[in-house]
A and B are shown apart, each in its own frame.
Chain A
Amino acid sequence: MIRKEAMKIVLEEIGNDPIISANGFISRDLFELNEKKTNFYMIGSMGLASSIGLGVAIKNPKKTIYVFDGDGNILMNLGSLTTIGTIKPKNFIHIIFDNHSHESTGGQPTNTRNISISNIGKVTNFYVFEINDINYLKKILKKIKKISGTIMIVIKINNSKIRSGRVTLDPVFIKNRFMESL
């Protein structure tokens, strides 16, 4: 399974719930697959999707907030998992597309090759699911709708040569329409 394929399946389940998507190929894939006002595409500030998602989740307890993150991204802000796990928002779903590499910058390795991000999620109070195939992903996406909690879904993906285009929207436009959608 490649990221774009996995993301497409996730998007089919989550509808118009707000998404904070990490910079790099993650935002680019989201932009190509399902451009809409409830997407907050990050362009820079690598690592902060989970923190922005936490801020949105705290202030919008009736909405389910999704964070689309990568392994390289979350490794830059592991401290955020301890903050999220302390606050434990019940409407926070952290999806990590884990390819064990910094694909956006040329596929250099990340340390999730050796250290399990799922295990880190477990010790920081997340309800964790680790996904290796499409059918299980579909099953879990349905299952989490019945769970109230701080959820982490680590989707193991392969690198791919498929490249999505850059997010061409103005950042202030992305912000304004996201705010209006909340």
Chain B
Amino acid sequence: MVGQGAERLSRERAARRLANEARGGSLLMASTLLAPATLMVALGLVLPILILLRYSFNKFDPRLMMVEAVTLENYVKFFTDPFYTNVFWTTLRVALLCTLVCLVLAMPLAYVLARSESRYKNVLLMLVVLPLFVGNAVRAAGWMTLFGSKGALNAALLEVGAIKVPLQIMFTEKAVVIGVIAVNLPYMVLTLQSVIEGIPRQTEEAAFSLGAGPWTMSRRILWPLALPGIVAGVILCFILAMNAYATPVLLGGPQFKMMGPLVFGQFRLNNWPFGAAVAFVLMTATLVLTGAANLLVQHRYRRGRSP
């Protein structure tokens, strides 16, 4: 069986190669099509990132701001000072928590949207997208009026007598988590919805007809088939949460620190070398974690598919 399969695969590959060559210059064609985007990314992203990396090895001088040097002191400062490592762990904690909550909240909603045959489906989808029409800062401003000590929420709770003193939500981690979830949820819902839509309904019906309950079906059929999309949604959400700026600044207040605002703060102080180092720590951590998650899931996915 295995031998036959491998033979068929290599035959298919050869046929594909022949077909490509017959079309003539398809490789050239492909590179021409890829070139503009590659060039844009190289010039607009890779080059500035390399410059930033170089800055992160420079020295800071209060008078001259940035002095050319090759030193690791900015990174050492970050990793040896508990203040900065705390900021890092807070960021990671908030990002993971928000991603998890988004996943749990988005899954049922995405499922209903994907399987809905209502003529209002497009309206429902629009309602999910609607919050994205408003900028993050504006949305945070909305939360501020809701969460403030004399905001709508506290006023209502005080009025009905549920609480005696106003709840302190503004300028806490709670407020940031709620704000970030609200920002990221539509992304998660949309990603999951499109993936679930691609899973044939018949696979679920087959499971049900074989006696699986809804829970078993979700666990054994829906979850594994939707896994690539779930990973995409989780990664998207996680990256957005790790790099959140407006929400932690506006809802977290001055005493709450996350990496995004920390990077900005260092550049405001004109401490470019340290700002660059913090930016690199954030970027590397995000990349490594998303890469690791991706690899892990791919590994399990492949193992799950093998007979």
Is the A/B pair a real complex?
no
